[in-house]
Structure formats: structure tokens, C-alpha cells
């Protein structure tokens, strides 16, 4: 990280702190909603689904706002909103206020993600962006690996303390962003209106094709912990299921932390569609491995292969959008691609239906088919870029 500018270093640190604040509270949120509001698991899932759905749609408008306003101030607003949201959750006693608070925290997370990617693109030469995207993903995985454990330990002493600490972490992150210079804007290239921006996005067939493929792929990798836990609870006794799930999640975290940045260094936009094909094939092999796994070792081997695909796909998606996005609409393009997050919300619904109405292992083959279709769409969109490359960007 020391080789990058102050803006990039602080942005990477903020990415970690925001993830840690979210990860600390994520395993406790269902318990809080259950005890405070008396909701059952189905209602909690519906509530979270509504919040994610609304926040994802708001992310599309958030990308447009990022293109029009000063990005650093918007990231500060996102972090303040997260801080206030975590604090308000400790007072959750009304269903409507709680839903609004969850929408605020999810929308703030989406705004920070979109804005941080746009700032990275603006402040780095083309050749360094894939490495920084991979480094950012590695650091956020460190946060996702450590945050839940810290949150659970703290909650053992005081149930609401993780939410208060998460609020304090998000608020403290604001001062890191205040210390960097404002991002420079070229007002002559601002998008004219939200509707005109939507028309531009709608007319970009490459973006639509790639986002559609990403959505199908996100069904597989966006919330894989949910469908793995669903399958394990059907196929194994609870104690054995928990043991396997803990092992594969640890395997995933260790693999990403040790190998993500190294793989990201080799990603080149000229071969991007072939990297996406490789990542898709690794997903398919990993899913087949899950369907055939019969021991802790084979589960971990399948997860290792699956994680290799994950480490390729995530930075490749960021780099692809960075390649096709005009400078004046970079935030809007990232906001549009963020619609692929709907795939993560669809995943537990699709998998739950298959587990109830078909042989449990068939779920993995259906997911393999979805990611194959998604990878094909992404490859086709990548071929369009190769045939009609975007004009070179001048970096000063």
C-alpha cells in the first residue's frame, strides 16, 4: 500500500473499516430483529430482502449523483449515514423505522462501494487498477473474516455493544476521508439529467449484456454461504453441518487473503473475457466438487477451486466496467453494474426451492448451469469490447 498515493491508501483503509463495522453486526442482526420486533426467520429474511432490493435500486441513482457531485463528500456522507444507521438499530422497536434504518445502511454501503471504485479509477493509471481492485478485495475479506468473530465475542458481554462500536468505527473513518484533498471535477462533462443518463445506460448493449451475465453469476457467488448452509443442513446432521461450514469458510478466507493480490497482478484488460471464462469454469468445477464431496477434505478442496473462480471474477467485473465506462459516467456505470447484486438476493430463494422439490445435489448442477450462461453473456460482451475498443484515456 505504501507505493500508492495518500488518497488510495486512505480509501483502502476506509474500505476495511466500513466492512469491519458491517461484519461485526451481520451475525447479530437476525437476533436483534427477533428479540426486539418478535419476527420469525421468514419475516426477517423478507425484511432484509426488501432493504437490499430498495438499496440496490437507490445505488443506480447514487452512481449518477457521484458523477455530478464531489465524490469525497459523498463518501463522507455514506460513512456518516452508516454510523447513524448502526446507532439507530440499537433503538429498534418499530418495524417501519427499522426498515428505513436498514435501507439507509444498505444504501450507504452501496454508495461507498460505487464511489470508492470511481475514485480508484480516477486516481490510478490503467495498468494499476486491477492490482488495487484485488488489493481492496483482499483487505475487505480480512474484515469479513475477523469482523463476525469480534462481534460475537463482544455481544457475549453486551448484546448491543457491537452496533455501538460499529457506529463509532464508521464515524471515525470520516476523519480519514476529511484528510485527503477533494476530487477534481470537470463540470463541462457532467451528465445533464438522471433520465438522460438512464437512456445512455440503456443504449449501451455491452453494459446490459455484461450486467445480465454478472447477475446470473452473482446468484452463484454472491451469497454462497447461504445456499451452502441450506444444503448442509439438509444433507448432514446439524453438528456435522456446522463443522463443514466452518472449515470451508476458513478455507475461503485464507485462500483469498494469501492469493487474491497475486492473482490480481496478472489480470489484463486485453485478455479480460478469457479470464472471465476461466473464473466461470472454476466455479462450475467447484460446484460439481460440492455435489460429490463426502468428507471434510473434499469439501475444502472444492471450496479452494470455487474460491479461485471468485478471486478472478470479482476484480474482472470491476475492471470490465472501468474499461467500458466513459469518464463522465463512471459512477453511473458502476451503479448500473451494481444491479447484479439482485442475484445475491435471488440465490437463497432459488436454492431453497430446489432443495425442497428436487434431489439436494441437483441444486449445484442448476447453479452450474446459471453461472455457465452468465459467463457466456460476459464473454460475449467482452468480445464486443475487443472488436470495438474504447478510446484511450489520458492520465496526467
Report residue 94 as a C-alpha cell: 418499530
Q: Quote the CA–CA distance of 209 and 169 in Å, as a whole number.
A: 38
Give the CA dihedral 71, 75, 81, 82, nearest 10 degrees. Answer: 150
Residue bearing cell 458502476? 334
Q: How far apart are the first and last CA of the chain?
A: 21
Residue with cell 439507509: 104
Cα separation, 359 vs 148, whole angstroms? 32
Model confidence pTM above 0.85: no
Whole-number Cα distances in Å, 1 to 10, 128, 372: 10, 12, 35
Among the listed residues 188, 165, 147, 186, the one whose alpha carbon sits nearest the alpha carbon of residue 89: 165
Q: Which residues of 235-256 are buried (b: 16+ CB within 10 A; e: fewer)?
A: eeeeeebeebbeebbebbbebb
Q: 3-state DSSP call for residue 197? A: helix
Cα(263)–Cα(138) distance, integer angstroms? 11
Cβ-Cβ contacts under 8 Å for 214 (sequence gap 6 or more): 317, 337, 340, 343, 374, 378
| pLDDT for res 391 | 45
- The CA distance from 301 to 289, in Å, is 8
- Name the grid cell of 195: 433520465
All three cell numbers of 259, joined, read 492469493
* Residue 324, Cβ density class (10 Å: 0-12 exposed, 13-18 middle, ≥19 buried): buried
Q: Helices in the chain by DSSP H: which ranges?
A: 6-37, 41-68, 71-89, 95-123, 126-155, 161-178, 194-203, 205-221, 224-235, 238-264, 272-292, 296-324, 330-337, 342-357, 362-387
Q: Cβ distance 383 to 205 under 8 Å?
A: no
SS3 149: helix
Q: Are 381 and 277 in contact (CB under 8 A)?
A: no
d(CA 348, CA 54): 18
One pLDDT digit (tens) per residue for the chain, 396 residues: 667 778 888 888 888 898 888 888 876 777 777 777 777 656 776 777 788 788 888 888 888 888 888 888 889 999 999 999 999 988 877 888 888 888 898 889 888 888 888 888 888 887 777 778 778 877 887 787 777 778 877 877 887 888 999 999 999 988 888 877 776 655 555 556 778 888 888 888 888 999 999 999 988 887 787 788 778 878 888 788 878 887 887 888 888 888 877 777 777 777 788 899 999 999 999 999 999 998 899 999 999 999 999 888 888 888 888 888 887 788 888 888 888 888 877 887 788 788 888 888 888 999 999 999 999 999 988 765 555 555 444 332
Nearest Cα to 78, choosing from 112, 123, 34, 103? 112
CA–CA separation, 42 and 323 (whole Å):
41
pLDDT at 270: 72
Residue whose cell numbers read 463518501: 75
Tell me the CA distances in angstroms from 151 to 136, 144, 157, 249, 256, one per residue in order: 22, 11, 10, 17, 21
| Residue 128 per-residue DSSP state | H
Residue from 23, 37, 60, 137 nearest 338 by CA: 60
Amino acid at each position: 500500500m505504501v507505493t500508492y498515493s495518500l488518497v488510495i491508501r486512505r480509501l483502502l483503509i476506509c474500505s476495511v473499516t466500513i466492512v469491519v463495522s458491517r461484519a461485526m453486526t451481520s451475525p447479530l442482526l437476525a437476533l436483534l430483529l427477533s428479540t426486539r420486533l418478535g419476527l420469525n426467520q421468514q419475516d426477517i429474511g423478507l425484511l432484509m430482502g426488501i432493504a437490499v432490493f430498495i438499496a440496490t435500486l437507490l445505488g443506480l441513482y447514487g452512481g449518477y449523483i457521484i458523477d455530478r457531485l464531489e465524490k469525497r463528500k459523498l463518501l463522507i456522507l455514506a460513512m456518516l449515514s452508516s454510523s447513524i444507521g448502526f446507532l439507530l438499530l440499537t433503538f429498534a422497536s418499530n418495524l417501519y423505522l427499522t426498515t428505513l434504518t436498514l435501507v439507509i445502511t444498505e444504501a450507504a454501503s452501496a454508495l461507498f462501494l460505487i464511489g470508492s471504485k470511481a475514485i480508484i479509477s480516477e486516481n490510478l493509471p490503467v495498468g494499476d487498477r486491477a492490482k488495487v481492485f484485488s488489493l481492496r478485495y483482499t483487505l475487505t475479506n480480512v474484515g469479513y473474516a475477523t469482523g463476525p468473530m469480534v462481534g460475537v465475542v463482544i455481544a457475549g458481554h453486551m448484546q448491543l455493544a457491537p452496533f455501538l462500536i460499529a457506529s463509532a468505527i464508521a464515524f471515525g473513518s470520516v476523519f480519514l476521508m476529511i484528510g485527503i484533498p477533494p476530487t477534481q471535477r470537470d463540470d463541462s462533462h457532467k451528465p445533464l439529467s438522471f433520465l438522460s443518463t438512464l437512456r445512455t445506460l440503456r443504449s449501451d448493449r455491452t453494459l446490459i449484456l455484461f450486467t445480465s451475465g454478472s447477475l446470473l453469476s452473482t446468484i452463484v457467488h454472491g451469497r454462497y454461504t447461504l445456499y451452502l448452509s441450506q444444503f448442509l443442513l439438509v444433507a448432514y446432521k446439524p453438528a456435522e453441518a456446522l463443522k463443514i461450514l466452518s472449515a470451508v469458510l476458513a478455507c475461503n478466507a485464507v485462500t483469498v487473503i494469501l492469493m487474491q493480490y497475486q492473482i490480481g497482478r496478472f489480470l489484463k484488460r486485453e485478455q479480460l473475457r478469457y479470464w472471465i471464462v476461466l473464473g466461470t469454469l472454476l466455479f462450475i468445477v467447484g460446484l460439481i466438487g460440492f455435489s460429490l464431496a463426502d468428507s471434510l477434505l473434499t469439501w475444502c478442496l472444492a471450496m479452494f477451486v470455487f474460491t479461485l473462480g471468485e478471486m478472478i471474477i470479482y476484480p474482472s467485473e470491476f475492471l470490465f466496467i472501468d474499461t467500458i465506462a466513459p469518464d463522465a459516467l463512471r459512477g453511473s456505470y458502476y451503479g448500473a453494474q451494481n444491479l447484479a447484486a439482485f442475484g445475491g438476493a435471488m440465490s437463497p430463494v432459488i436454492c431453497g426451492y430446489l432443495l425442497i422439490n428436487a434431489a439436494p445435489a441437483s441444486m449445484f448442477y442448476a447453479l452450474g448451469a446459471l453461472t455457465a450462461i452468465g459467463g457466456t453473456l460476459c464473454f460475449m460482451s467482452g468480445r464486443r469490447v475487443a472488436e470495438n475498443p474504447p478510446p484511450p484515456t489520458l492520465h496526467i
